[in-house]
Structure 1
Amino acid sequence: MIIADIAGRLLKPDTLLVAVGCVLACAASQALAAGAGLLEPAAMPEPPPCITAKPAGSPALRVATIGYQLAVANKADCPSHAMLSGLLLHDRAAYSEKTRRTLTGLGNGFGILGVVAGSPADAAGLTAGDEIIGLDGAPLTEWRTDLESAGATYARVEAFTATLSKTLSHGPAHLRIVHAGQERDVILAQQPGCDVSFALLPGRKPDAWTDGRYLAVTAGLTDLVGDDALAFAMAHELAHVALGHAKEAERPLAAFGIGAGHVRQEESQADLLGLRFSQAAGYSLSGGAMLFNALAKSGSLRWGLTHPSNNARITALTQEAAHLAQQPSSLPKSTICTD
């Protein structure tokens, strides 16, 4: 299952640290052990006033940014919620023992690989290269070292991500970080969103799927399409979660109909709701048609009997896009940045 792939069985871990680093929220795990009192309070950051619909940086950060925007903008439609930080994380355990010996600039805490623009982490001033060494007064350098192993594993990063989300559910989180060699304290604000973890996985084949808890896309898909089409692909999978289509097993390429046998009705429902989801996150209503046109040109589409045809899906999405374009936006004006 995809859970095993993401949580602990990734191949070539030195190039796949983004997989769990992209996690925005996951099921709660054990809380941090009791530590000293709260860190000295810093200025309380305000929640970001809007989300930026212009992903930038690495492919992992691109997926994390789009996932964050979708999860925040469509939280009212999701069956469960979690607090999102906008952090991409790694630790020394995410690498092989050989690679660990050559790592510099990363201690035993949790390193920040990237920060989603407009997220609580961004508002707190966190940047790539920072290291988190404490949470609410509890040191992290020896935290959950039982999850480390001789081989590369993301188990400790995933456990911390879950714990951070749980901590934020009770209020802003106090982080102790190392920035440019100096320790300082920051406060991470709360930002609720859909309780779905987003990940970028390797693979040349354009692919996306969800099991209801994780939502993954392959590098082949991110290389093939632009942001609007990628946002629709991810929104389509998120729609499956919202509609209750992905409660148990993974849905391999449910958005595209490659190697999957899902019913036409579910796919059509996810197409239309996914278009609304991507619009809510600030992406073009043409994203759906862009996606299916790109997949058709790449030769990736192999339709099964249970899937609508490519032309039928593009027609339905084009009609829905025209309908949505005529509707007054129901989004709060502060949801999407306009510049």
Structure 2
Amino acid sequence: MDFMIRIWISLVALSFAAPLSAQEGPDDGVNADMILALKGLQLLDHRLNAIGYRLVDANTPYCDQKAARTGLLLNDVAQYVDQETARFALGFDGSVGITAVAPDSPAESAKLSPGDTLLAINTIPINDIAIDDPELSNQQPVYRRVAAINRLLEQALAEDNVRLTISRGGINQTISVAAAMTCPSQFQIRVSADRSAGADGKLVSVSSRLAEYFLTDDEFAAVVAHELAHNLLKHRDRLDAKNVNRGFFGQFGESASEIKAAEIEADRLSVWLMVNAGYDPQAAIRFWTRYGKEHGKGIFSASTHYRWKKRVELFEEELAKMAAMEPVGGKFSPPLLAKAD
């Protein structure tokens, strides 16, 4: 099926997934073009949330640190200028709600759905969760509430199941949700006109324009796995410990060498993460070959990154290593993660 047709089918499905209270049709205060744009963004959120959760869940046995995850992706309408339109498009009764639920996750088992409005975690109302914590100061103000909610949710899940009070179609209900202990990392679509992806040690972000460029979820997973590899290998902490300059001057000298070494490791580990999660590792080769031929010296081709032909060679080397191994339980233990322990 044509990729764009699949997108439109998914957009229609998302529109019907919203509560009936949000299906009556936009009034004069709601921007129809903005609704379509937000539905498109929500589709990208769904894809990234599903891919990210699948990668961290499948590779859990090989991560030295674990985090409590539900498979939920939350959104706050306060981050949008036109909050009325955002609330209508996302199907929320209130201000913070569920925008995506990962397949085969605890959230899916609990029958939580996109469009559910989150009202409380255990007995703590969402509006009472503090967002002035110094640890949240690096977040933009409009993202701090969701960051604070995610942190509280993770802390509560580490102790026991949590009770989430939600509103669905105007009716409040409390749902018990368990946690899955997975590799740590969170994932987000960053609305941007550039094609880029990044990792900050805790979060993997993919620009909306790059996400739209992927032909398949396997290609999407190839880039997400690369960025996740940076987080799992603690590259940011390691580069900081060596005082590596990641700005303009990081393109030269010793800093460039250190960054390139980290990029090589992330490339090598990425295909192991993909295989363990059931993604086609050949998609990494297809994606970088296509992107390299189309964009030449564009994204990821600075002095700190190998050019696409060399990256393809790295993937092939790692796939050859796996081909010479016997998987255990259908999975392969990534040497780089064992080395990082």
Same fold (TM over 0.5): yes
Residue identity matched to 2:282: S
- Which residue does 1:240 correspond to in 2? 230
Is the contact between residue 162 and residue 176 of structure 2 (CA under 8 Å) also seen in structure 1? yes
Q: Which has the higher contact order (CA 8 A, sep 6+)?
A: 1
1:196–1:127 Cα change, 3 Å = same
Q: Pairwise mapping of residues 25-174 of structure 1 onto structure 2 (< 5 A)?
A: 58-78=43-63, 80-96=65-81, 99-100=83-84, 103=87, 106-108=92-94, 110-144=96-130, 153-174=142-163
Residue identity matched to 1:154: Y
In structure 1, C-alpha distance between the alignment counterparts of 2:257 and 2:221, rounded to whole Å: 21
Give 1:246 shift.
1.8
Give 1:117 shift.
1.2
Gaps of 5+ in 2: 1-33, 134-139, 248-254, 332-341
Residue by residue, what CA displacement relative to the aligned partner does 1:170-227 show, whole Å, maximum 9, x if unpaired? 0111112222222222111111122222111123332111121221111222122221
In the alignment, structure 1 residue 190 sits paired with structure 2 residue 179 = yes
Give 1:129 shift.
1.5
- Which residue does 2:208 correspond to in 1? 219
In structure 1, C-alpha distance between the alignment counterparts of 2:85 and 2:310, rounded to whole Å: 54
Q: Secondary structure at the match of 2:159?
A: coil
In structure 2, C-alpha distance between the alignment counterparts of 1:272 and 1:140, rounded to whole Å: 41
Q: Secondary structure at the match of 2:167?
A: strand
Query: Percentage identity across aligned positions?
Result: 27
- Which residue does 2:267 correspond to in 1? 271
- Which residue does 1:313 correspond to in 2? 311
Q: Which one is further off, 83-92 or 137-146?
A: 137-146
Report how many residues are paired: 271
In structure 2, C-alpha distance between the alignment counterparts of 1:137 and 1:290, rounded to whole Å: 49
In the alignment, structure 1 residue 229 sits paired with structure 2 residue 219 = yes
Gaps of 5+ in 1: 1-13, 23-56, 253-259, 334-339
Q: Secondary structure at the match of 2:155?
A: helix
Give 1:161 shift.
1.0
RMSD, matched Cα: 3.3
Residue identity matched to 1:231: A
1:107–1:268 Cα change, 3 Å = same
Higher helix content, 1 or 2: 2
Residue by residue, what CA displacement relative to the aligned partner does 1:319-339 show, whole Å, maximum 9, x if unpaired? 322442453333469xxxxxx
Q: So what's the TM-score if we normalise by structure 2?
A: 0.69
Residue by residue, what CA displacement relative to the aligned partner does 1:136-170 show, whole Å, maximum 9, x if unpaired? 233335544879xxx97121111111101110000
In structure 2, C-alpha distance between the alignment counterparts of 1:317 and 1:190, rounded to whole Å: 33
Q: So what's the TM-score if we normalise by structure 1?
A: 0.69
In the alignment, structure 1 residue 207 sits paired with structure 2 residue 196 = yes
